[in-house]
Structure 1
Amino acid sequence: MTTKPAVRGTQSLVHTFGECWSRPSLLARELAWRWLFGVPALLLLFYEGAQIYTTTSSQLEAAGIEQFSLQDPMRAAVIIADAFTVLKAPVLHAVMWLLPMLAIVWAIASGIGRNLVLRRYDSALPMKPLSLIVLQLLRIAALGGSFAGWFLAIHWAAGYSLSGAEPNLVLYCALVIFLSLGIFTIWALLSWIFSAAPLLVLLEDRGVAASLYRSLRLGSLTAKLVEVNLVMGIVKLALIVLAMVFSATPLPFATVMQGSPLYIWWAVVTLLYMVASDFFQVTRLVAFIQFWRLSREPQTPSPTLATSK
């Protein structure tokens, strides 16, 4: 019996983009819960950063932080090392209580907010914020592990390329770029597990452990989800590059564009990046739901076969 041809994961993305674009309420809810968490979190981080700077400013001046310049890379490396020594203790003290608190608050905001976004897309989906909160905490732990792995990899790259009698700065930069892109790609390939599990909680009415197990055993749907997640990871990387390009656009006009206009430009570029990033995040969620439902539909014979019968 002839069945419907398989649909690749990226073939319907353009249609999904259009559908999400035509429903701005999805992006509005996504932005609302993210910024309701993000704005107070940034203000708290700014306050803690100001407190740390106040207590260490004299030591940073003694370390020569005001003479920092990339025109002298070796001198800049020494200044960074001295500044790190000064800031290590107070920053670690703040991180020890800030990160756990922000992770828990983020998980709560994400569990409730994401559930509301998905219910806006389909009101038939249930409200199960507690399960989504637990899964978000697990995702944060996995993401923290990837950052720890990245830090260890960069530390190894520094020891390998800069510890000799003749430090090789070019090799160090090349290793940093290669390792960063490699770890980013691995995370993009594997993070779909933590993206699919919350959806399975709602779509299949499963618990936390069952949804994680089910996300590893999706059969033919796995390839489509991995493909979409990898494409979205590339899109996120492209957005970062575009944001860096637009942030650097005023540099040729540095003599006439300084102070507040430059800061306003950077703030606008940052806000546009956040909005675009959140839009593609919503698109990825909708694409996952659509492919899951498509995989559940029974395959029908082709029209030609039906006519011949």
Structure 2
Amino acid sequence: MVAKPRCTSASAAQPLLDETVHEIPVHAGLGDDPIDHDISPDGRGSRERCAEREDPHATLGGSTMTTFARIDRGEGRAAFARLDGDRLRLLAGAPWERTSETGEEVPLAGARLLAPVTPTKIVCVGRNYRAHAAELGNDVPAEPLLFFKPPSSIVAADETIELPEESSRVDHEAELGVVIGARCRRVSEERALDFIFGYTCVDDVTARDLQKKDGQWTRAKGFDTFCPTGPLLVTGIDPSALAVRCRVNGEIRQDGNTRDMLFSIARLIAYISGVMTLEPGDLIATGTPHGVGPIVAGDVVEVEVEGVGTLRNPVRPRG
């Protein structure tokens, strides 16, 4: 399921302009000088790069399947790393910055994995699967239905989903997450996939009763811990037909496939970037298949995306 080269301008093997930074703060923002929509990270214009494209699913993350993580280095620091077997090879910066390896490595076993992105925003898509819209009694939208989750809602794999006392019904929603690799604004659908770095797992946890009560979704979607993300970031895969599953305590609750999206990933990026500028590291949650349902204290929720990994989180009341 590895894509052929389409645009290889942002290979993780290329060096950073400044290789002196080996670690970054756990909550640091993304780098300065993001790339505009018509220039690639190697400085070439879109026409020059387009001449090289062969496969419509290759992205800024490269054409070879590569897996990245973000790990806790202690004392409030974090580092990105490339997974190589059972070792993590540390990077000088975020992998979408054409960063190089530092030469330092740590074993995967025992490493504390953080969420693999620190986005400026999380853009989510509602009712992007027909069967999911139907199960909640909603019509399918005529165009992508967008909403936000705050970056403060992100938790990593194995961290706890906390149930707020304001809600009596909190649901799981398994989703494919798309991570942007270069700044994009008003990009065409034909060019949209050029700006993807990679993919991760997302659980769009939702206070369903508050969603219905409030009308707009900010509170229902935005509680702290309501966006488990990770554990890994994967590049070089074709996202057009991936199984998306959710298990609660080992029981399958959701079993969908990205081929059933109403709006393709390319369509979503084109549409979203027509509204707002997407920055490197931004996260798009692409919608959930049918089968959403409640979670309660003591549950363990697993979101599995084919070729990407499995995100596992326990559930408890908010303390």
TM-score range, shorter chain: under 0.3
Name the one with the larger helix percent. Answer: 1
Greater C-alpha Rg: 1
> TM-score with structure 1 length normalisation?
0.26
Pick 1 or 2: higher relative contact order, CA cutoff 8 A, min separation 6. 1
